[in-house]
Amino acid sequence: MCRIIAGLILILAIARTCVFAQITTARAVNYPRIVLELPDNIVSDTVTIWYFLMAQQGKTGPVKPQRNVRQYIITGAIAGQSARSATLYVYSPGCQFKVYDFALSDKSDVEQWFECVPLPQKTIRGFIAPTEPRASFSHQTELVISAKLQANWICGDAFRRVGGGGSCGVPSIPLGKVGTLNPIDRGNFELTIPDFTEDPVFRSNSFNFGFLILSLKDERLGCTVGASLATDSNGSKRGLEIRTDYPDPVICAPVH
């Protein structure tokens, strides 16, 4: 019996040693992580997160949206190396942008609680010639106007942090439905968007904060029939620039 008990003790001792060795090995290759915690009233897959990691080189990119989660975890790894610092840019619909800076160390987590500070809404009057998109107006179809924000300021801010250039894919942030284009209004419409000029990050990035790309969608057919670009006084076409004041109305031109 004593031999049996001694044998069991030896087996347990070996098993515990193996488990400890596995944990030690796993921790040895761990990278630092950033844990972003979301409040219960935030829909997780509507949150846009853009990260900027720094080690000997920099790395930027989006975090893939996930449904029904209360936290996002970003691993601080660059080409097999642990990042030493990180910046997160976070946007949730109707909220101010949040910018979080972190100093990172190996094998440790940093946690950040996201808090939504609401942005006021802004209404913009626009006009698009009622002959465009031609087919939709001729069939008396109401179109939904959706918008995406091309957030140029995020790339500009990231470049300033490293004191130079580089490459950065400009974040494209979906804003969802911002208006409707009804044939009975003969090309007149209204857009309701977040007033980004009231966001503190706009003050230091107003020169090139970003612009909106507007798309026109026929919901009955479930298809996009065109994109609409605002035209400036010189006639050049670009998306609707984020600014404090707009012409009344903003003249838009369609692109099919």
pLDDT class of 22 with cuts at 50, 70, 90: very low
In the predicted structure, residue 9 carries a pLDDT above the cut 50: no
Domains, the chain, with CATH or none: 33-113 (2.60.40), 121-255 (no CATH)
Residue 199 CB: number of other CB atoms within 10 A?
A: 21
Q: Is 147 exposed, middle or buried (0-12, 13-18, 19+ CB in 10 A)?
A: buried
In the predicted structure, residue 53 carries a pLDDT above the cut 80: yes
pLDDT class of 25 with cuts at 50, 70, 90: very low
Helix (H) or strand (E) holding 256: none
In the predicted structure, residue 89 carries a pLDDT above the cut 50: yes
The residue type at 191: L
Query: What is the pTM assigned to this prediction?
Result: 0.80
Q: Count the helix, strand and coil residues of the chain and give each as a percent rounded to the nearest 5.
A: 25, 40, 35
pLDDT in tens, 63-79: 999 999 999 999 998 88
Average pLDDT, the chain: 80
pLDDT class of 253 with cuts at 50, 70, 90: confident
What tokens appear for 94 in the block? 């109707």
pLDDT in tens, 107-152: 789 999 999 999 999 999 999 887 765 545 555 678 899 999 999 9
Rounded Cα gap, residues 46 and 150, in angstroms: 16
Section 156-163 average pLDDT: 76
- Residue burial 50-69, b: 16+ Cβ < 10 Å; e: rest: bbbbbbeebebeebeeeeee
| Beta carbons of 140 and 162 less than 8 angstroms apart | no
pLDDT at position 18, please?
Answer: 34
Most confident of 18-27, 57-66, 159-168, 231-240: 57-66
pLDDT at position 20, please?
Answer: 28
DSSP one-letter string for 124-141: EEEEE-TTSSHHHHHTT-
Rounded Cα gap, residues 132 and 126, in angstroms: 14
Task: Of 21-30, 145-154, 190-199, give the lowest mean pLDDT range.
Answer: 21-30
pLDDT class of 183 with cuts at 50, 70, 90: confident
Portion of the chain with pLDDT greater than 70, in percent: 78
Rounded Cα gap, residues 208 and 87, in angstroms: 20
pLDDT class of 95 with cuts at 50, 70, 90: very high
Section 204-227 average pLDDT: 81
pLDDT class of 166 with cuts at 50, 70, 90: low
In the predicted structure, residue 34 carries a pLDDT above the cut 50: yes
Task: Of 44-48, 87-91, 210-214, give the lowest mean pLDDT range.
Answer: 210-214
Rounded Cα gap, residues 73 and 22, in angstroms: 23
User: CA 178, 180, 186, 187 torsion: positive or negative?
Assistant: positive
